[in-house]
């Protein structure tokens, strides 16, 4: 069973959604039969390399909220993350483009180091306050995940996988995706948003049952 996940590494709900999927998979009877494919989705494709705003300032400006309201929301998100082992340190977050991070994630997609690299990006951004447009940061995260140096250099020193990132985003538009995370199971069953782990587990089980039923009746 394949689960495609559209997400952005600068999206706290995406980090939370991935962790909740992990929690659901831990209870799923056939978790060893699941393949996860991470797909690109930039929340802000026009973002500069570095945005001179704190996360609090950016959210307050974008949604017209008071700083107190934003801080309260971040506290709730931090608590939800803690429940599934995700660390959010909103005061340390640096904002900027995630495009090159997505290119590098595409380069290692469907390899043993692909998933650890994606998780490392979320950790670097939300827990460590690292700037994901910084090539030194991306190199460090990649090396920590086991990505070979040649792959990192090939991607970051050129324009490799630009078309692949754009293709992922085009697929999202075709699916009507306007927000992330967005999960698609076997190309048929969607889970929009960071649903709780019980809901995710229910969808996984139903998708598995229907897939097995279809395969059993196919000549």
pLDDT at 217: 65
Q: Provide the pLDDT for residue 9.
A: 98
CB 96 within 8 A of CB 133: yes
Retrieve residue 38's tokens.
């991470």
What pLDDT does residue 213 have?
74
CA 66 to centroid of chain Cα atoms: 27
Domain of 128? 2-217
Task: Determine if residue 92 is left, alpha or beta; phi over 0 gives left, psi from -120 to 50 gives alpha, anything else beta.
Answer: alpha
Residues of the chain short of pLDDT 50, as ranges, are: none
For residues 61 and 207, give the distance between their C-alpha atoms in angstroms, rounded to a whole number.
40
The total number of structural domains in the chain stands at 1
Burial of 188 (0-12, 13-18, 19+ CB in 10 A): exposed
Cα four-point dihedral sign 199, 194, 82, 118: positive
Residues 88, 129: Cα–Cα separation, whole Å: 9
Q: Residue 177's domain is classified under what CATH number?
A: 3.40.30.10
Radius of gyration of the chain (CA): 18
- With 0-12 / 13-18 / 19 or more C-beta atoms within 10 angstroms meaning exposed / middle / buried, residue 193 is middle
The pTM of the full predicted model, rounded to 2 decimals, is 0.95
Residue that the structure tokens 């040649």 belong to:
150
Do the beta carbons of residue 34 and residue 44 sit within 8 Å? no
Distances (CA, A) of 32 to 18, 42, 99, 198: 17, 29, 31, 19
């Amino acid at each position: 069973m394949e689960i495609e996940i559209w997400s952005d590494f600068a999206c706290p709900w995406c980090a939370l959604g991935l962790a909740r999927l992990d929690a659901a998979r831990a209870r799923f009877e056939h978790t060893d039969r699941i393949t996860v494919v991470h797909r690109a989705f930039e929340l802000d494709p026009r973002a500069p390399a570095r945005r001179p705003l704190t996360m609090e300032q950016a959210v307050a400006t974008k949604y017209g909220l008071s700083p107190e309201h934003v801080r309260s929301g971040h506290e709730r998100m931090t608590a939800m993350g803690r429940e599934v082992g995700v660390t959010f340190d909103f005061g340390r977050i640096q904002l900027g483009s995630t495009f090159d991070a997505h290119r590098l994630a595409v380069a290692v997609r469907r390899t043993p180091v692909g998933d650890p690299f994606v998780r490392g990006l979320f950790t670097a951004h939300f827990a460590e306050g690292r700037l994901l447009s910084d090539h030194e940061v991306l190199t460090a995260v990649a090396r920590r995940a086991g990505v070979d140096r040649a792959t990192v250099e090939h991607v970051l020193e050129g324009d490799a996988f630009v078309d692949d990132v754009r293709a992922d985003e085009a697929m999202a538009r075709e699916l009507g995706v306007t927000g992330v995370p967005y999960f698609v199971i076997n190309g048929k069953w969607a889970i929009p948003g960071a649903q709780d782990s019980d809901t995710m587990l229910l969808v996984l089980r139903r998708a598995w049952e229907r897939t097995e039923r279809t395969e059993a009746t196919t000549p």
